Amino acid sequence: MGSCRNGVVSGGSNGEIGGGPTVDKGVDFANYFCTYAFLYHQKEMLSDRVRMDAYFNAIFENKHHFQGKTVLDVGTGSGILAIWSAQAGAKKVYAVEATKMSEHARTLIKANNLDHVVEVIEGSIEDVSLPEKVDVIISEWMGYFLLRESMFDSVICARDRWLKPTGVMYPSHARMWMAPIRSSLGDQKRNDYEGSMDEWYRFVQDTKTSYGVNMSVLTKPFSEEQKKYYLQTSLWSNLHPHQVIGTAAIVKEIDCSTATVNDVLEVRSNLLSSITGERTRLCGFGGWFDVHFRGSKVDPAQKEIELTTAPSMDDSTHWGQQVFLLHPPIHVSEGDDLNVSFSMNRSKENHRLMEIELSCDIRQSSGNILPPFSNRFYIE
């Protein structure tokens, strides 16, 4: 699920959850969970038609997975997936939610006359105890560019502890995609950065003149801080398909029934993309994801449903896409080939945020090879 931008904070650390030393729960709550306790935030996600339709159809077009079965909803939020699971005929649904939103879920479930089927449990899925294993694990865990928030770790944990060997994951598969894009955001952010530096130089001058303190030694760290903020931090955007100027490539494929935390700790990929736009500017890359509800090999879906967050005119989602900007943009033409080396890891300070290294070779359609470039990005 998309989330409002969490601030960057040190003080937390990666966990056995998170793939490193223990994540402090209080810090994790302050950094991450807290936004989900707000009804306003839940409503944002519940108002995402594409998201809602996908899960609704995935469930109700595949009732055989739910009728008479036991279900676990990881991160139930308002309880919507648990409610649909029960309405689709589940015998029992465990709806786990870490925040006080669980109380609203309980209220909602009772008001919809499903409290005899759905049991809301407040707590982290890593900590709670269920009385039995389940036939289905359903969860809407996807963050920006799929893995921001690292919530999939919790789904893996739930699967390993609570899914029967014959059980089914909803969704069953997930993929990360990237494509070269054009965007006016690059110019905007470049201007913002330069405006910020102009202001800084005036500030240094004033502080020297008025207050007798020479702050010029801080220019370098200030510019690095501002560069990171304006130029290197990925942006949320709702891209128009026309902004995609080259072929999209799969960065990562995940089988939700077998993936381990290790599989998603680091995402490394080589991508090939051909420019399809005619004499245009490569302003950066757009990243998005899709998930599929295919059931399992032994118990497949009757109707396979897809939820995609690819750039779309009519079917945009609250996730938008993540935009990684290049400064300056690069002039490219139809037929130019990009060879992109992509590497994404979790931030040391906060395992729910990401750091990316992206290198790119461009072979122009003429055969000429442009000098390669390398950029660091942050998903905050």
Distance CA 238, CA 312 (A): 8
Please identify, using beta-carbon distances, which residue of 3 and 172 lies nearer to a second copy.
Answer: 3
Q: Show the tokens assigned to 96.
A: 């786990």
Residue for token pair 């015998």? 91
User: Residue 25 CB, nearest distance to a second copy (Å)?
Assistant: 8
Q: Which helix (H) or strand (E) holds 71?
A: strand 70-74
Tell me: does residue 40 bind a second copy (CB under 8 A). yes
Distance CA 340, CA 360 (A): 4
| Interface with a second copy, residue 111, by CB under 8 A | yes
Total binding residues for a second copy by CB under 8 A?
Answer: 55
Query: Among 16, 39, 272, 372, which residue interacts with a second copy (rule: CB under 8 A)?
Result: 39
Q: How far apart are CA 142 and CA 153, in angstroms?
A: 11
Residue nearer to a second copy on the CB measure, 9 or 370: 9
- Report in angstroms how near the CB of residue 111 gets to a second copy at its nearest: 4
Asked if residue 38 binds a second copy (CB under 8 A), the reply is yes
Q: Active site residue: 132, 140, 357, 380, which one? A: 140
Q: Write down the least CB distance from residue 280 to a second copy, Å.
A: 34
Give all strands (DSSP E) within 189-298, no chain letters. Answer: 235-237, 249-255, 266-274, 280-295
Integer angstrom CA distances of residue 336 from 150, 242, 243, 329, 339: 35, 18, 16, 15, 10
Q: Is the Cβ–Cβ distance between 348 and 299 less than 8 Å? A: no
Stretch that binds a second copy, among 45-53, 155-163, 175-183, 231-239 (CB under 8 A): 45-53
Residue 197 sits in the site that holds a second copy (CB under 8 A): no
Please tell me whether residue 170 binds a second copy under the rule CB under 8 A.
no
Asked if residues 176 and 146 have their Cβ atoms less than 8 Å apart, the reply is yes
Q: Which is nearer to a second copy, 34 or 231 (CB)?
A: 34
Q: Which of residues 7-36 bind a second copy (CB under 8 A)?
A: 7-12, 24-27, 29-31, 33-35
CB of 103 to a second copy, least distance (A): 9
Q: Which amino acid is at 334?
A: E
Report the distance separating Cα 312 and Cα 115, nearest Å: 38
The answer to whether 149 is a known catalytic residue is: yes
Q: Residues 352, 14: contact at Cβ < 8 Å?
A: no
Secondary structure of residue 51 in the 3-state scheme = helix
Nearest C-alpha neighbor of 298 from the set 84, 88, 133, 135 = 135
**The two structure tokens encoding residue 112:** 């919809």
Binding pattern for the stretch 133-162 against a second copy, x by CB under 8 A and - elsewhere: ------------------------------
Site pattern 199..238 for a second copy (x: CB under 8 A)? -x--x---x--xxxxxxxxx--xx--xx--x---------
**Distance of alpha carbon 57 from alpha carbon 349, whole angstroms:** 38
Applying the rule CB under 8 A, the residues between 66 and 95 that interact with a second copy are 78, 80, 83-84, 87
In the complex, what is the shortest distance from the CB of residue 105 to a second copy, in angstroms, rounded to a whole number?
10
Q: Cβ 95 to a second copy, closest distance in Å?
A: 13
Catalytic option among 61, 149, 304, 334? 149
Which residue in 20, 50, 52, 185 binds a second copy (CB under 8 A)? 52
Phi, psi of 185 (to 5 degrees): -60, -30
Buried b (16+ CB within 10 A) or exposed e, 344-358: bebbeebbbbbbbeb
Does residue 306 have an active-site annotation?
no
Q: Give the residue numbers annotated as catalytic, written as ranges.
A: 140, 149
Interface residue list for a second copy (CB under 8 A) = 7-12, 24-27, 29-31, 33-35, 37-40, 43, 46-47, 52, 56, 78, 80, 83-84, 87, 100, 104, 107-108, 110-112, 196, 200, 203, 207, 210-218, 221-222, 225-226, 229
